[in-house]
Protein backbone atom coordinates (compact mmCIF):
# COMPACT_ATOMS: atom_id res chain seq x y z
CA UNK A 1 0.00 0.00 0.00
CA UNK A 2 1.28 3.52 -0.76
CA UNK A 3 2.46 5.48 2.29
CA UNK A 4 0.79 8.66 3.53
CA UNK A 5 3.55 10.65 1.88
CA UNK A 6 3.13 8.99 -1.54
CA UNK A 7 -0.66 9.09 -1.26
CA UNK A 8 -0.43 12.89 -1.22
CA UNK A 9 1.73 12.84 -4.33
CA UNK A 10 0.50 12.92 -7.87
CA UNK A 11 -0.64 9.61 -9.27
CA UNK A 12 1.41 10.39 -12.37
CA UNK A 13 4.65 8.59 -13.05
CA UNK A 14 7.36 9.89 -10.77
CA UNK A 15 5.54 11.45 -7.79
CA UNK A 16 7.43 14.47 -6.40
CA UNK A 17 9.32 14.12 -3.15
CA UNK A 18 8.16 16.32 -0.30
CA UNK A 19 10.80 18.10 1.70
CA UNK A 20 14.47 17.76 2.60
CA UNK A 21 16.24 14.64 3.88
CA UNK A 22 14.88 15.24 7.40
CA UNK A 23 11.58 17.01 7.88
CA UNK A 24 11.79 20.46 9.56
CA UNK A 25 11.26 20.32 13.30
CA UNK A 26 12.45 16.72 13.56
CA UNK A 27 14.96 16.65 16.44
CA UNK A 28 14.68 13.56 18.64
CA UNK A 29 16.06 10.16 17.67
CA UNK A 30 12.57 8.68 17.66
CA UNK A 31 11.29 11.45 15.39
CA UNK A 32 14.20 10.94 13.02
CA UNK A 33 13.58 7.19 12.94
CA UNK A 34 9.88 7.74 12.29
CA UNK A 35 10.69 10.18 9.49
CA UNK A 36 13.14 7.70 7.98
CA UNK A 37 10.61 4.86 8.15
CA UNK A 38 8.03 7.01 6.39
CA UNK A 39 10.48 7.84 3.62
CA UNK A 40 11.53 4.21 3.39
CA UNK A 41 7.87 3.22 3.05
CA UNK A 42 7.47 5.72 0.24
CA UNK A 43 10.59 4.40 -1.50
CA UNK A 44 9.28 0.83 -1.63
CA UNK A 45 5.68 1.75 -2.50
CA UNK A 46 4.32 2.15 -6.04
CA UNK A 47 3.25 5.61 -7.25
CA UNK A 48 -0.42 4.68 -6.83
CA UNK A 49 -2.77 1.73 -6.55
CA UNK A 50 -4.13 2.55 -10.01
CA UNK A 51 -0.70 2.22 -11.59
CA UNK A 52 -0.37 -1.26 -10.08
CA UNK A 53 -3.85 -2.20 -11.24
CA UNK A 54 -3.01 -1.07 -14.76
CA UNK A 55 0.09 -3.27 -14.76
CA UNK A 56 -1.84 -6.30 -13.59
CA UNK A 57 -4.57 -5.71 -16.18
CA UNK A 58 -1.88 -5.93 -18.87
CA UNK A 59 -0.66 -9.24 -17.48
CA UNK A 60 2.45 -7.65 -16.00
CA UNK A 61 3.99 -7.53 -12.54
CA UNK A 62 5.57 -4.57 -10.80
CA UNK A 63 9.36 -4.30 -10.54
CA UNK A 64 9.33 -5.55 -6.94
CA UNK A 65 6.83 -8.34 -7.62
CA UNK A 66 9.16 -9.63 -10.32
CA UNK A 67 12.03 -9.79 -7.85
CA UNK A 68 9.81 -11.65 -5.38
CA UNK A 69 9.01 -14.29 -8.02
CA UNK A 70 12.64 -14.63 -9.14
CA UNK A 71 14.41 -14.89 -5.79
CA UNK A 72 14.06 -17.18 -2.80
CA UNK A 73 11.43 -15.84 -0.36
CA UNK A 74 12.81 -13.21 2.01
CA UNK A 75 16.31 -13.25 0.52
CA UNK A 76 16.32 -9.88 -1.26
CA UNK A 77 18.60 -7.16 0.12
CA UNK A 78 18.02 -3.81 -1.57
CA UNK A 79 20.68 -1.21 -2.32
CA UNK A 80 20.21 2.53 -2.89
CA UNK A 81 16.45 2.43 -2.34
CA UNK A 82 16.35 6.14 -1.53
CA UNK A 83 18.62 7.43 -4.29
CA UNK A 84 17.11 10.22 -6.41
CA UNK A 85 18.17 11.94 -9.61
CA UNK A 86 20.05 15.25 -9.58
CA UNK A 87 18.91 16.52 -12.99
CA UNK A 88 17.54 19.97 -13.78
CA UNK A 89 15.58 21.31 -16.72
CA UNK A 90 12.24 20.69 -18.40
CA UNK A 91 10.62 20.54 -14.97
CA UNK A 92 12.28 17.26 -14.02
CA UNK A 93 13.78 18.83 -10.89
CA UNK A 94 10.25 18.99 -9.48
CA UNK A 95 9.74 15.25 -9.87
CA UNK A 96 12.29 13.26 -7.85
CA UNK A 97 10.95 9.81 -6.91
CA UNK A 98 12.98 7.57 -4.65
CA UNK A 99 14.82 4.77 -6.45
CA UNK A 100 14.93 6.70 -9.75
CA UNK A 101 13.05 3.98 -11.63
CA UNK A 102 15.10 0.88 -10.85
CA UNK A 103 15.20 -1.56 -7.92
CA UNK A 104 18.65 -3.02 -7.25
CA UNK A 105 20.22 -5.44 -4.81
CA UNK A 106 21.03 -9.09 -4.24
CA UNK A 107 19.35 -12.26 -3.07
CA UNK A 108 19.47 -16.01 -3.62
CA UNK A 109 18.17 -18.58 -6.08
CA UNK A 110 18.11 -22.05 -4.52
CA UNK A 111 20.42 -20.67 -1.84
CA UNK A 112 23.02 -19.30 -4.29
CA UNK A 113 23.74 -15.57 -4.36
CA UNK A 114 22.75 -13.52 -7.41
CA UNK A 115 22.65 -9.79 -8.04
CA UNK A 116 19.62 -8.27 -9.69
CA UNK A 117 18.26 -5.01 -11.05
CA UNK A 118 14.61 -4.55 -11.96
CA UNK A 119 13.58 -1.59 -14.10
CA UNK A 120 10.34 0.10 -13.01
CA UNK A 121 8.20 1.21 -15.93
CA UNK A 122 5.87 3.04 -13.52
CA UNK A 123 8.63 5.60 -12.84
CA UNK A 124 9.65 7.72 -15.85
CA UNK A 125 8.71 4.81 -18.12
CA UNK A 126 11.74 2.90 -16.87
CA UNK A 127 13.97 5.36 -18.73
CA UNK A 128 17.66 5.41 -17.87
CA UNK A 129 19.27 8.44 -16.25
CA UNK A 130 22.50 9.12 -14.39
CA UNK A 131 21.46 7.88 -10.93
CA UNK A 132 19.58 4.94 -12.46
CA UNK A 133 22.82 3.93 -14.19
CA UNK A 134 24.88 4.40 -11.03
CA UNK A 135 22.61 1.97 -9.19
CA UNK A 136 22.85 -0.64 -11.95
CA UNK A 137 26.62 -0.22 -12.24
CA UNK A 138 27.01 -0.71 -8.49
CA UNK A 139 25.32 -4.13 -8.48
CA UNK A 140 27.24 -5.13 -11.62
CA UNK A 141 30.50 -4.17 -9.91
CA UNK A 142 29.53 -6.08 -6.77
CA UNK A 143 28.59 -9.13 -8.85
CA UNK A 144 31.94 -9.12 -10.61
CA UNK A 145 33.89 -8.49 -7.39
CA UNK A 146 32.17 -11.31 -5.50
CA UNK A 147 31.92 -13.75 -8.42
CA UNK A 148 28.14 -14.03 -8.60
CA UNK A 149 25.69 -13.95 -11.54
CA UNK A 150 23.83 -10.77 -12.41
CA UNK A 151 20.24 -10.79 -13.68
CA UNK A 152 18.62 -7.79 -15.33
CA UNK A 153 14.82 -7.46 -15.45
CA UNK A 154 14.40 -5.06 -18.35
CA UNK A 155 11.33 -2.89 -18.93
CA UNK A 156 12.56 0.42 -20.31
CA UNK A 157 11.70 2.95 -22.96
CA UNK A 158 15.36 3.87 -23.41
CA UNK A 159 17.36 6.96 -22.48
CA UNK A 160 15.83 9.66 -20.27
CA UNK A 161 15.59 12.54 -22.73
CA UNK A 162 15.33 15.19 -20.01
CA UNK A 163 18.86 14.33 -18.86
CA UNK A 164 20.34 14.75 -22.33
CA UNK A 165 23.70 13.27 -23.26
CA UNK A 166 24.33 12.31 -19.63
CA UNK A 167 21.89 9.44 -20.13
CA UNK A 168 23.81 8.30 -23.23
CA UNK A 169 27.08 8.24 -21.30
CA UNK A 170 25.29 6.32 -18.56
CA UNK A 171 24.50 3.57 -21.06
CA UNK A 172 28.18 3.41 -21.93
CA UNK A 173 29.11 2.75 -18.30
CA UNK A 174 26.76 -0.26 -18.27
CA UNK A 175 28.01 -1.57 -21.64
CA UNK A 176 31.61 -1.44 -20.42
CA UNK A 177 30.69 -3.57 -17.43
CA UNK A 178 28.86 -6.05 -19.65
CA UNK A 179 32.03 -6.54 -21.64
CA UNK A 180 34.26 -6.76 -18.55
CA UNK A 181 31.97 -9.37 -17.01
CA UNK A 182 31.60 -11.43 -20.19
CA UNK A 183 32.85 -14.96 -19.66
CA UNK A 184 33.62 -14.23 -16.01
CA UNK A 185 30.17 -14.31 -14.40
CA UNK A 186 26.87 -15.42 -15.94
CA UNK A 187 24.83 -12.47 -17.20
CA UNK A 188 21.12 -12.98 -17.82
CA UNK A 189 18.64 -10.51 -19.32
CA UNK A 190 14.88 -10.85 -18.96
CA UNK A 191 12.87 -8.64 -21.32
CA UNK A 192 9.54 -7.86 -19.67
CA UNK A 193 8.23 -4.97 -21.72
CA UNK A 194 9.24 -2.59 -24.50
CA UNK A 195 12.99 -2.17 -24.86
CA UNK A 196 14.10 0.18 -27.61
CA UNK A 197 17.25 1.94 -28.77
CA UNK A 198 20.07 1.87 -26.25
CA UNK A 199 18.01 -0.31 -23.91
CA UNK A 200 18.60 -3.36 -26.14
CA UNK A 201 22.39 -3.21 -26.43
CA UNK A 202 23.14 -4.31 -22.88
CA UNK A 203 20.92 -7.42 -23.11
CA UNK A 204 22.52 -8.24 -26.47
CA UNK A 205 25.91 -8.55 -24.75
CA UNK A 206 24.69 -10.87 -21.99
CA UNK A 207 24.84 -14.66 -22.03
CA UNK A 208 21.13 -15.45 -22.10
CA UNK A 209 18.01 -13.48 -23.05
CA UNK A 210 14.49 -14.38 -21.94
CA UNK A 211 11.35 -12.86 -23.47
CA UNK A 212 7.61 -13.13 -22.77
CA UNK A 213 5.06 -13.90 -25.46
CA UNK A 214 3.05 -10.87 -26.59
CA UNK A 215 4.36 -8.46 -23.92
CA UNK A 216 8.12 -8.32 -24.66
CA UNK A 217 9.50 -6.25 -27.52
CA UNK A 218 13.05 -5.40 -28.59
CA UNK A 219 14.12 -3.17 -31.47
CA UNK A 220 16.57 -0.43 -32.34
CA UNK A 221 14.00 1.66 -34.22
CA UNK A 222 10.25 1.26 -33.78
CA UNK A 223 7.50 0.74 -36.36
CA UNK A 224 6.78 4.48 -36.70
CA UNK A 225 10.38 5.34 -37.54
CA UNK A 226 10.64 2.45 -39.98
CA UNK A 227 7.49 3.57 -41.77
CA UNK A 228 8.76 7.15 -42.00
CA UNK A 229 12.19 6.20 -43.33
CA UNK A 230 11.50 3.13 -45.49
CA UNK A 231 7.75 3.11 -46.00
CA UNK A 232 7.47 -0.38 -44.50
CA UNK A 233 4.49 -1.11 -42.30
CA UNK A 234 5.13 -3.57 -39.48
CA UNK A 235 3.54 -4.24 -36.10
CA UNK A 236 5.40 -4.23 -32.79
CA UNK A 237 5.00 -8.00 -32.53
CA UNK A 238 6.23 -8.67 -36.07
CA UNK A 239 9.18 -6.34 -35.66
CA UNK A 240 10.45 -7.20 -32.21
CA UNK A 241 8.14 -9.67 -30.49
CA UNK A 242 9.30 -12.69 -28.52
CA UNK A 243 8.70 -15.27 -31.24
CA UNK A 244 10.29 -13.03 -33.88
CA UNK A 245 13.51 -12.90 -31.90
CA UNK A 246 13.27 -16.54 -30.87
CA UNK A 247 12.78 -17.94 -34.37
CA UNK A 248 14.09 -15.38 -36.88
CA UNK A 249 16.77 -13.12 -35.43
CA UNK A 250 18.22 -15.51 -32.85
CA UNK A 251 18.20 -12.85 -30.15
CA UNK A 252 15.98 -14.62 -27.59
CA UNK A 253 17.29 -17.85 -26.09
CA UNK A 254 14.09 -18.64 -24.19
CA UNK A 255 10.42 -17.59 -24.43
CA UNK A 256 7.94 -17.80 -21.56
CA UNK A 257 4.15 -17.88 -21.63
CA UNK A 258 3.83 -15.11 -19.03
CA UNK A 259 6.05 -13.22 -16.61
CA UNK A 260 5.84 -15.73 -13.75
CA UNK A 261 6.58 -18.64 -16.08
CA UNK A 262 9.52 -16.76 -17.59
CA UNK A 263 11.04 -15.94 -14.20
CA UNK A 264 10.68 -19.58 -13.14
CA UNK A 265 12.55 -20.51 -16.32
CA UNK A 266 15.39 -18.23 -15.21
CA UNK A 267 15.55 -20.07 -11.88
CA UNK A 268 15.68 -23.38 -13.78
CA UNK A 269 18.50 -22.19 -16.05
CA UNK A 270 20.49 -21.13 -12.98
CA UNK A 271 20.53 -24.75 -11.82
CA UNK A 272 22.88 -25.50 -14.74
CA UNK A 273 25.23 -22.52 -14.39
CA UNK A 274 28.19 -21.95 -12.05
CA UNK A 275 28.61 -18.83 -9.96
CA UNK A 276 31.59 -17.73 -12.07
CA UNK A 277 34.30 -18.98 -14.41
CA UNK A 278 36.39 -20.35 -11.52
CA UNK A 279 33.53 -22.42 -10.12
CA UNK A 280 31.88 -25.66 -11.21
CA UNK A 281 28.18 -25.93 -12.08
CA UNK A 282 25.87 -27.34 -9.39
CA UNK A 283 25.87 -31.12 -8.89
CA UNK A 284 22.52 -32.90 -8.52
CA UNK A 285 22.51 -36.69 -7.98
CA UNK A 286 20.44 -38.45 -10.67
CA UNK A 287 17.47 -40.62 -9.81
CA UNK A 288 18.11 -43.12 -12.60
CA UNK A 289 20.86 -45.74 -12.54
CA UNK A 290 24.19 -44.86 -14.13
CA UNK A 291 24.54 -48.38 -15.59
CA UNK A 292 21.02 -48.54 -17.03
CA UNK A 293 20.50 -49.84 -20.58
CA UNK A 294 18.02 -47.95 -22.74
CA UNK A 295 16.62 -50.49 -25.18
CA UNK A 296 14.95 -47.72 -27.13
CA UNK A 297 18.36 -46.65 -28.42
CA UNK A 298 18.59 -49.89 -30.39
CA UNK A 299 15.66 -48.95 -32.59
CA UNK A 300 15.96 -45.16 -32.70
CA UNK A 301 18.17 -45.03 -35.82
CA UNK A 302 16.16 -45.99 -38.95
CA UNK A 303 17.49 -48.65 -41.34
CA UNK A 304 17.33 -46.14 -44.18
CA UNK A 305 20.11 -43.56 -43.98
CA UNK A 306 17.81 -40.96 -45.53
CA UNK A 307 14.95 -41.40 -43.07
CA UNK A 308 14.80 -38.71 -40.37
CA UNK A 309 14.52 -39.30 -36.63
CA UNK A 310 14.23 -36.96 -33.67
CA UNK A 311 17.58 -36.37 -31.97
CA UNK A 312 15.69 -35.10 -28.91
CA UNK A 313 14.73 -38.71 -28.19
CA UNK A 314 18.34 -39.87 -28.34
CA UNK A 315 19.48 -37.13 -25.98
CA UNK A 316 16.73 -37.78 -23.44
CA UNK A 317 17.50 -41.50 -23.31
CA UNK A 318 21.21 -40.88 -22.70
CA UNK A 319 21.19 -38.07 -20.11
CA UNK A 320 20.13 -38.15 -16.45
CA UNK A 321 16.38 -38.38 -15.87
CA UNK A 322 15.62 -37.45 -19.50
CA UNK A 323 16.28 -33.80 -18.64
CA UNK A 324 17.27 -31.46 -21.48
CA UNK A 325 17.15 -27.68 -21.01
CA UNK A 326 17.17 -26.63 -24.65
CA UNK A 327 18.70 -23.27 -25.57
CA UNK A 328 17.37 -21.56 -28.72
CA UNK A 329 14.67 -24.23 -29.27
CA UNK A 330 12.95 -22.18 -32.00
CA UNK A 331 16.01 -20.95 -33.90
CA UNK A 332 18.19 -22.84 -36.41
CA UNK A 333 16.42 -26.07 -35.55
CA UNK A 334 18.81 -28.19 -37.62
CA UNK A 335 21.16 -28.08 -34.64
CA UNK A 336 20.21 -28.63 -30.99
CA UNK A 337 21.93 -26.92 -28.07
CA UNK A 338 21.18 -27.14 -24.38
CA UNK A 339 22.10 -28.34 -20.91
CA UNK A 340 21.74 -31.78 -19.36
CA UNK A 341 23.46 -33.87 -16.71
CA UNK A 342 25.47 -37.07 -16.84
CA UNK A 343 26.09 -38.74 -13.51
CA UNK A 344 24.84 -35.59 -11.82
CA UNK A 345 27.36 -33.32 -13.58
CA UNK A 346 26.23 -30.56 -15.95
CA UNK A 347 27.14 -31.03 -19.63
CA UNK A 348 26.47 -28.94 -22.70
CA UNK A 349 24.76 -30.82 -25.51
CA UNK A 350 25.28 -29.99 -29.19
CA UNK A 351 23.55 -32.23 -31.74
CA UNK A 352 22.58 -32.29 -35.39
CA UNK A 353 18.82 -32.66 -35.87
CA UNK A 354 17.88 -34.88 -38.86
CA UNK A 355 14.27 -33.68 -38.61
CA UNK A 356 15.30 -30.26 -40.01
CA UNK A 357 17.32 -29.81 -43.21
CA UNK A 358 18.51 -33.41 -42.70
CA UNK A 359 20.83 -32.08 -40.00
CA UNK A 360 22.96 -30.06 -42.44
CA UNK A 361 25.04 -27.23 -41.07
CA UNK A 362 24.22 -23.77 -42.42
CA UNK A 363 24.94 -20.14 -41.58
CA UNK A 364 22.53 -19.82 -38.67
CA UNK A 365 23.14 -23.23 -37.10
CA UNK A 366 26.91 -22.72 -37.21
CA UNK A 367 26.66 -19.43 -35.34
CA UNK A 368 24.12 -20.84 -32.89
CA UNK A 369 26.37 -23.78 -32.11
CA UNK A 370 29.51 -21.65 -31.86
CA UNK A 371 27.99 -19.25 -29.37
CA UNK A 372 26.77 -22.08 -27.16
CA UNK A 373 30.12 -23.90 -27.27
CA UNK A 374 31.98 -20.76 -26.23
CA UNK A 375 29.55 -20.16 -23.36
CA UNK A 376 30.12 -23.71 -22.09
CA UNK A 377 33.88 -23.29 -22.42
CA UNK A 378 33.79 -20.05 -20.43
CA UNK A 379 31.86 -21.62 -17.56
CA UNK A 380 33.60 -25.01 -17.23
CA UNK A 381 30.81 -27.08 -18.75
CA UNK A 382 31.98 -30.23 -20.62
CA UNK A 383 30.59 -30.81 -24.12
CA UNK A 384 28.85 -33.89 -25.52
CA UNK A 385 28.25 -33.72 -29.27
CA UNK A 386 25.87 -36.05 -31.13
CA UNK A 387 26.73 -36.13 -34.84
CA UNK A 388 24.48 -36.96 -37.77
CA UNK A 389 25.51 -34.49 -40.45
CA UNK A 390 25.48 -35.04 -44.24
CA UNK A 391 27.46 -31.85 -44.84
CA UNK A 392 27.04 -28.12 -45.20
CA UNK A 393 23.80 -26.94 -46.78
CA UNK A 394 24.43 -26.11 -50.47
CA UNK A 395 22.97 -23.07 -52.21
CA UNK A 396 23.71 -19.53 -53.34
CA UNK A 397 21.99 -18.09 -50.26
CA UNK A 398 24.45 -19.93 -48.07
CA UNK A 399 27.51 -19.00 -50.10
CA UNK A 400 26.53 -15.34 -50.41
CA UNK A 401 25.45 -15.33 -46.77
CA UNK A 402 29.01 -16.09 -45.70
CA UNK A 403 28.93 -19.81 -44.89
CA UNK A 404 32.72 -20.00 -45.25
CA UNK A 405 33.35 -17.33 -42.64
CA UNK A 406 30.38 -18.04 -40.40
CA UNK A 407 30.69 -21.82 -40.62
CA UNK A 408 34.28 -21.49 -39.47
CA UNK A 409 33.03 -19.99 -36.20
CA UNK A 410 31.80 -23.40 -35.05
CA UNK A 411 35.10 -25.01 -36.03
CA UNK A 412 37.01 -22.32 -34.13
CA UNK A 413 34.78 -22.63 -31.06
CA UNK A 414 35.23 -26.40 -30.74
CA UNK A 415 38.95 -26.26 -31.44
CA UNK A 416 39.72 -23.55 -28.87
CA UNK A 417 37.53 -25.08 -26.14
CA UNK A 418 39.49 -26.29 -23.12
CA UNK A 419 36.68 -28.21 -21.40
CA UNK A 420 36.33 -31.99 -21.84
CA UNK A 421 34.80 -32.79 -25.25
CA UNK A 422 33.09 -36.00 -26.33
CA UNK A 423 31.87 -36.84 -29.84
CA UNK A 424 29.20 -39.47 -30.55
CA UNK A 425 28.57 -40.27 -34.23
CA UNK A 426 25.07 -41.73 -34.51
CA UNK A 427 24.78 -42.03 -38.29
CA UNK A 428 26.16 -39.80 -41.08
CA UNK A 429 29.38 -37.88 -40.59
CA UNK A 430 30.39 -36.60 -44.00
CA UNK A 431 33.05 -34.23 -45.26
CA UNK A 432 34.12 -30.99 -43.67
CA UNK A 433 30.99 -30.89 -41.54
CA UNK A 434 32.17 -34.04 -39.76
CA UNK A 435 35.49 -32.41 -38.96
CA UNK A 436 33.75 -29.28 -37.67
CA UNK A 437 31.43 -31.23 -35.34
CA UNK A 438 34.01 -31.83 -32.60
CA UNK A 439 35.92 -34.55 -34.42
CA UNK A 440 38.97 -36.41 -33.15
CA UNK A 441 41.19 -34.46 -35.56
CA UNK A 442 40.42 -31.19 -33.75
CA UNK A 443 41.28 -32.86 -30.45
CA UNK A 444 38.01 -34.14 -29.11
CA UNK A 445 38.94 -36.05 -25.97
CA UNK A 446 36.86 -39.12 -26.81
CA UNK A 447 35.15 -40.07 -30.08
CA UNK A 448 32.45 -42.75 -30.03
CA UNK A 449 30.83 -44.34 -33.07
CA UNK A 450 27.34 -45.86 -32.88
CA UNK A 451 27.06 -49.20 -34.79
CA UNK A 452 25.13 -47.27 -37.46
CA UNK A 453 27.88 -44.66 -37.93
CA UNK A 454 29.10 -43.73 -41.42
CA UNK A 455 32.24 -41.56 -41.44
CA UNK A 456 33.30 -40.59 -44.96
CA UNK A 457 34.44 -37.77 -47.21
CA UNK A 458 30.96 -37.74 -48.74
CA UNK A 459 27.91 -39.95 -49.22
CA UNK A 460 28.16 -43.06 -51.44
CA UNK A 461 26.13 -41.57 -54.30
CA UNK A 462 28.33 -38.49 -54.53
CA UNK A 463 31.48 -40.58 -54.30
CA UNK A 464 30.33 -42.83 -57.16
CA UNK A 465 29.58 -39.83 -59.36
CA UNK A 466 33.12 -38.51 -58.90
CA UNK A 467 35.18 -41.72 -58.90
CA UNK A 468 33.33 -43.33 -61.81
CA UNK A 469 32.40 -40.18 -63.70
CA UNK A 470 33.98 -41.22 -67.00
CA UNK A 471 32.50 -44.72 -66.83
CA UNK A 472 29.05 -43.29 -66.17
CA UNK A 473 29.40 -40.89 -69.11
CA UNK A 474 30.22 -43.79 -71.45
CA UNK A 475 27.50 -46.10 -70.14
CA UNK A 476 24.37 -46.67 -72.23
CA UNK A 477 22.29 -46.70 -69.05
CA UNK A 478 24.02 -44.47 -66.45
CA UNK A 479 21.34 -45.21 -63.86
CA UNK A 480 21.87 -48.96 -64.12
CA UNK A 481 25.65 -48.52 -64.15
CA UNK A 482 25.48 -46.36 -61.02
CA UNK A 483 23.45 -49.02 -59.24
What number is the average pLDDT over the span 379-404? 97
Interval 452-470 mean pLDDT: 70
pLDDT at 440: 96
Q: Among 351, 413, 433, 444, which one carries the catalytic annotation?
A: 433
Model confidence, pTM? 0.88
Residue 126 annotated in active site: no
- The CATH number that domain 296-452 falls under is 3.90.226.10
Please name the residues in contact with 472: beta carbons below 8 A apart, sequence gap of 6 or more: 464, 465, 478, 481, 482
Q: Average of pLDDT values for 81-95? A: 70
Confidence band for 467, pLDDT divided at 50, 70 and 90: low
CATH superfamily of the domain spanning 58-270: 2-enoyl-CoA Hydratase; Chain A, domain 1 (3.90.226.10)
12 vs 333, more confident:
333
- Average pLDDT of span 13-30: 56
191-239, pLDDT tens digit by residue? 999 888 878 999 999 999 999 999 999 999 889 999 999 999 999 999 9
DSSP element (H, E) containing 242: helix 242-244
- Banded model confidence at residue 400, pLDDT cuts 50, 70, 90: very high
401 is catalytic: no
| Active-site choice (183, 250, 432, 462) | 432
Q: How far apart are the first and last CA of the chain?
A: 80
pLDDT (0 to 100) of residue 66: 97
**Cα 265–chain centre separation:** 11
Give the per-residue pLDDT at 159.
72
Span of 57-66, 317-326, 378-387, 437-446 with lowest mean pLDDT:
57-66
Contacts of 358 (CB under 8 A, 6+ apart): 306, 308, 334, 390
Q: Are strands 446-449 and 345-352 parallel, antiparallel or unpaired?
A: unpaired
Is 21 annotated in the active site?
no
Q: What pLDDT sits at residue 302? A: 87
pLDDT computed for residue 54 by the predictor: 82
Largest CA-CA distance found in the chain, in angstroms, rounded: 109
Mean pLDDT of the chain: 88
Task: Assign 23 a pLDDT band (cuts: 50, 70, 90).
Answer: low
Strands (E), 25-159: 77-79, 102-109, 112-119, 150-154
Region for residue 278 given its phi and psi (left: phi exceeds 0; alpha: psi -120 to 50; beta: otherwise): alpha
Catalytic residue among 164, 183, 197, 431: 197
| pLDDT bracket for residue 28 (50, 70, 90) | confident
Q: What is the mean predicted confidence (pLDDT) over 420-426? A: 98
Q: What percent of the chain has pLDDT over 90?
A: 66
Q: Check residue 59 and report its DSSP letter.
A: T
Residues of the chain with CATH 3.90.226.10: 58-270, 296-452
Nearest Cα to Cα of residue 359 among 459, 444, 442, 443: 459
CB of 429 within 8 A of CB of 454? yes
Cα–Cα distance measured from residue 174 to residue 232, given in angstroms and rounded to the nearest whole number? 33
The percent of residues above 70 in pLDDT, for the chain, comes to: 86
Residue 9 has what pLDDT? 37
**356 close to 334: Cβ distance less than 8 angstroms:** yes
Decide if 344 is catalytic.
Answer: no
Q: What is the pLDDT of residue 6?
A: 41
**Collapsed DSSP state (helix, strand, coil) of residue 314:** helix
Question: Could you give phi then psi for residue 47, rounded to 5 degrees?
Answer: -55, -40
pLDDT of residue 16: 40
In sequence order, the β-bridge partners of residue 446 are 422
Q: Which residue out of 105, 107, 193, 198 is catalytically annotated?
A: 198
pLDDT value of position 88: 63
Cα dist from 169 to 116, 139, 166, 218, whole Å:
22, 18, 5, 21
Answer whether residue 18 shows pLDDT above 50: no
Asked whether the predicted pLDDT for residue 13 surpasses 50, the reply is no
Mean pLDDT, residues 363-383: 98
Best CA proximity match to 118, nearest among 66, 55, 42: 66
Amino acid sequence: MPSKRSAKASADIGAPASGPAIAPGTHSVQEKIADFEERRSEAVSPPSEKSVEDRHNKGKLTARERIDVLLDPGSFVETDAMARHRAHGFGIEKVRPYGDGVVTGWGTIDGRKVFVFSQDFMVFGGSLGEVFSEKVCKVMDLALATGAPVIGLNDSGGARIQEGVVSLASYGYIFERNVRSSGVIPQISVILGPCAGGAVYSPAMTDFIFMVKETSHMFITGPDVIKTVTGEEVTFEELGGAMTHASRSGIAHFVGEDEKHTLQMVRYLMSFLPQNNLDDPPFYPPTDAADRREQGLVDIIPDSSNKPYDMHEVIKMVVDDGEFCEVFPHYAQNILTGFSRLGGHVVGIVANQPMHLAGCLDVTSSEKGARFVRTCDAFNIPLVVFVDVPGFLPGTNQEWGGIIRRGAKLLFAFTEATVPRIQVVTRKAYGGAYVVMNSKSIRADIAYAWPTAEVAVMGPEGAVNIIFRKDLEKADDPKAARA
